[in-house]
C-alpha cells in the first residue's frame, strides 16, 4: 500500500507528504489553487508541533521567517495602550502570541520545499468523485482525469471536499460559532512597534492590525452576526458585508476598510468548530482543519502534529490502513479535544456586546496579566499544546532518522 492521494496543499498536506515520503510511501498532493496560496494570517507553532519541525530539520528556517511580532496590546479609540501582553509572559506556547510566529504562506512554502522534489503535486485541480473498493480508491478529478490510489487523505480545510464526498454533508460536521472572521492586506500609518493592536467596539466587533518585519501588515476584523446569505465566490459582496458591519467606527477602522476594499489578498468565512466522530471512512481519512478545525491558536500546530502521527501510524501498520487510522485517532483524540476547548469567557469575552462589557474585560485583562494566573487567559494553552508526547510511540512507529 504505497500510493496515497492528499487533497490540500496548505499546512497539513505538505507536512503529511513529507512524512509519508520519509516512510517510503508515494504521496500525490492535489490542490485546487493554481499555485501555493499567498496571503492569510500569521500562525503559531506551539508545543509538540515544535518537536515535529525540529525532526524535519526546519526549525532554523522557520525562525528565520518569524514575523517579528513580540506581543499584543489592546488600544482605545485614540490608540492609547490599555494593556500589553508580551510573548514572553506565558511561556513559548501559552500566550495569545507565541514566540514562533510565521505567516501561513511562508510556512506552507517551507513545508512544500522540504520534499517538493520527491512528491507529485497537481495544482489547479480537485477531487470531484471517489469510488472505494477492495483494490483502492478510484478518484475523478475536475480536470477529467481519473486515477486509482490506495488511500485518500482530506487535508483540505474547514470546507473539505474529501469529507463531503466520503463522510457526508458539511452541515453534519461543521458547527457554527456565531461570528465572522476577515483577514486581508492592510495599510496603516500607525507605529506598531512589533505589537499586534486590538480595538474593540460595542455590538460585538473587533479590529486588529498585525505587523510583520517585511512590512506586510495584516488587517483582521471579527464581528458577530446571524448567518448571512452570500456566494462564497463573490468577493465583492463579502467585502460589502464587512464594510457595512464596520461603517462609522473609529480608530484605524476606516483606513482598514479602505485597504480591504482595494486588496485582492482577502479571506472571509464563518468561524466554525469541526466535530467528526470517526476520522476515517474505509480508505479515506481526515487530517488538519477538515477534522479538528475550530481551536483557538492551535490549528496549525495540530495540523503539523496530525500529519506526523498519521504517517507514522501508517508506517507502523505495514499497510493495514484501518488499524493505522484507528491508532492515529486514538493517539490524537485527547490532544485534539483539549485544544478545541474554548478559552475562558468564550465568544462573549472575545466579542463583548457593550461599552461596560469592554471596560470590564480590559480591567480583567490588566489584573490577570499582572500575576502568574495569566495562564488562565488562554485556558492553560502552554500545557495543552504540549500534551501529546511523540516519544510515547511504540518503537515500531518511530521511524525518524531511519530508526524503527
For residue 337, the SS3 value is helix
Rounded Cα distance between 349 and 360, Å, is: 10
The residue among 284 and 389 whose pLDDT is bigger is: 284
CB 196 within 8 A of CB 211: yes
Q: CA–CA separation, 390 vs 402, rounded Å?
A: 16
What is the distance between the alpha carbons of residues 30 and 145, in angstroms, rounded to a whole number? 12
Q: Does 124 have pLDDT greater than 70?
A: yes
Q: How far apart are CA 137 and CA 114, in angstroms?
A: 27
pLDDT tens digits along 191-247: 898 899 999 999 999 999 999 887 789 999 999 999 999 998 899 999 999 999 999
SS3 267: strand
- Contact assessment for residue 158 and residue 269, using Cβ atoms and an 8 Å cutoff: yes
Place of cell 514572553: 88
Per-domain residue ranges for the chain? 3-67+100-173+275-341+382-402, 174-272, 346-378
Q: In the prediction, which pLDDT does 319 show?
A: 76
Residue 103, all three cell numbers: 505567516
* Rounded average pLDDT over 374-396: 72
Pairing label, strands 3-7, 151-154: parallel
3-state secondary structure of 151: strand
Task: Name every residue whose Cβ is closer than 8 Å to that of residue 5 and which is 6 or more positions away in sequence.
Answer: 27, 28, 29, 30, 127, 137, 139, 147, 149, 151, 152, 153
Cross-strand pairs, 136: 133
Instruction: Report, as an integer, the average pLDDT of 139-162.
Output: 97
Mean per-residue pLDDT for 364-387? 80
| Three-state DSSP class for residue 96 | coil
| Architecture per CATH, 174-272 | 2-Layer Sandwich (3.30)
Answer yes or no: are the C-beta atoms of 352 and 365 closer than 8 Å: no
- CA dist 146 and 161 (Å) reads 17
Out of 3.40.50.2020, 3.40.50.12780, 3.50.50.60, 3.10.180.10, the CATH code matching 3-67+100-173+275-341+382-402 is: 3.50.50.60
Strand spans (E) along 95-250: 101-103, 120-123, 127-133, 136-141, 146-149, 151-154, 174-185, 195-201, 205-210, 218-224
Beta bridge partners of 317: none
> For residue 217, which of 191, 186, 196, 195 has the smallest C-alpha distance?
186
- Containing 180, the helix (H) or strand (E) segment is strand 174-185
> Over 50: is that where the pLDDT of 9 sits?
yes
How many residues are listed for the chain in this entry? 404
Banded model confidence at residue 394, pLDDT cuts 50, 70, 90: low
The pLDDT value recorded for residue 90 is: 66
Provide the mean pLDDT of the chain.
91
pLDDT at 95 over 70: no
Cα–Cα distances in angstroms (integers) from residue 383 to residues 276, 339, 387, in the given order: 24, 10, 6
Identify the CA nearest to 28 among candidates 41, 14, 47, 11.
14
Res. 397: pLDDT tops 60: no
- Strand, coil or helix: what is 66? coil
pTM of the model: 0.92
Residues 6+ apart with CB under 8 A from 67: 42, 101, 102, 103, 210, 211, 212, 213
| pLDDT higher at 94 or 308 | 308
Q: What is the largest CA-CA distance in the chain?
A: 65
Amino acid at each position: 500500500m504505497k500510493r496515497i492521494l492528499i487533497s490540500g496543499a496548505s499546512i497539513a498536506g505538505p507536512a503529511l507528504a513529507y512524512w509519508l515520503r520519509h516512510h517510503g510511501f508515494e504521496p500525490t498532493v492535489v490542490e485546487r489553487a493554481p499555485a501555493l496560496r499567498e496571503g492569510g494570517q500569521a500562525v503559531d507553532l506551539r508545543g509538540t508541533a515544535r518537536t515535529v519541525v525540529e525532526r524535519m530539520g526546519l526549525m532554523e528556517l522557520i525562525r528565520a521567517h518569524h514575523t517579528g511580532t513580540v506581543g499584543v496590546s489592546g488600544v482605545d479609540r485614540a490608540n492609547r495602550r490599555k494593556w500589553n501582553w508580551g510573548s514572553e509572559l506565558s511561556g513559548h506556547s501559552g500566550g495569545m502570541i507565541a514566540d514562533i510566529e510565521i505567516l501561513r504562506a511562508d510556512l506552507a512554502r517551507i513545508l512544500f520545499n522540504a520534499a517538493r522534489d520527491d512528491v507529485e503535486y497537481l495544482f489547479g485541480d480537485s477531487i470531484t468523485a471517489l469510488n472505494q473498493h477492495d483494490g483502492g480508491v478510484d478518484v475523478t478529478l475536475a480536470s477529467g482525469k481519473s486515477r486509482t490510489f490506495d488511500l485518500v487523505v482530506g487535508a483540505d480545510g474547514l470546507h473539505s471536499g474529501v469529507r463531503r464526498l466520503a463522510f457526508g454533508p458539511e452541515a453534519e460536521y461543521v458547527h457554527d460559532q456565531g461570528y465572522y472572521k476577515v483577514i486581508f492586506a492592510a495599510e496603516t500609518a500607525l507605529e506598531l512597534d512589533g505589537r499586534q493592536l486590538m480595538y474593540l467596539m460595542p455590538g460585538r466587533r473587533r479590529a486588529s492590525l498585525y505587523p510583520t518585519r517585511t512590512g506586510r501588515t495584516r488587517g483582521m476584523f471579527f464581528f458577530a452576526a446571524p448567518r448571512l446569505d452570500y456566494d462564497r465566490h463573490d468577493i465583492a459582496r463579502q467585502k460589502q458585508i464587512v464594510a457595512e458591519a464596520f461603517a462609522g467606527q473609529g480608530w484605524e477602522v476606516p483606513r482598514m476598510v479602505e485597504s480591504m476594499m482595494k486588496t485582492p489578498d482577502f479571506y472571509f468565512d464563518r468561524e466554525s468548530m469541526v466535530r467528526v466522530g470517526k476520522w476515517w471512512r474505509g480508505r479515506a481519512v481526515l487530517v488538519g482543519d477538515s477534522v479538528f478545525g475550530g481551536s483557538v491558536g492551535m490549528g496549525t500546530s495540530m495540523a503539523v502534529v496530525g500529519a506526523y502521527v498519521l504517517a507514522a501510524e501508517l508506517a507502523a501498520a505495514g499497510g493495514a490502513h484501518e488499524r493505522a487510522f484507528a491508532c492515529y485517532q486514538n493517539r490524537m483524540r485527547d490532544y485534539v479535544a483539549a485544544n478545541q476547548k474554548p478559552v475562558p469567557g468564550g465568544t462573549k469575552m472575545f466579542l463583548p456586546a457593550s461599552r461596560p462589557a469592554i471596560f470590564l474585560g480590559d480591567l480583567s485583562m490588566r489584573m490577570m496579566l499582572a500575576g502568574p494566573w495569566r495562564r488562565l487567559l488562554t485556558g492553560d494553552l502552554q500545557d495543552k499544546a504540549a500534551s501529546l508526547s511523540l516519544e510515547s510511540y511504540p518503537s515500531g512507529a518511530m521511524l525518524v532518522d531511519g530508526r524503527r
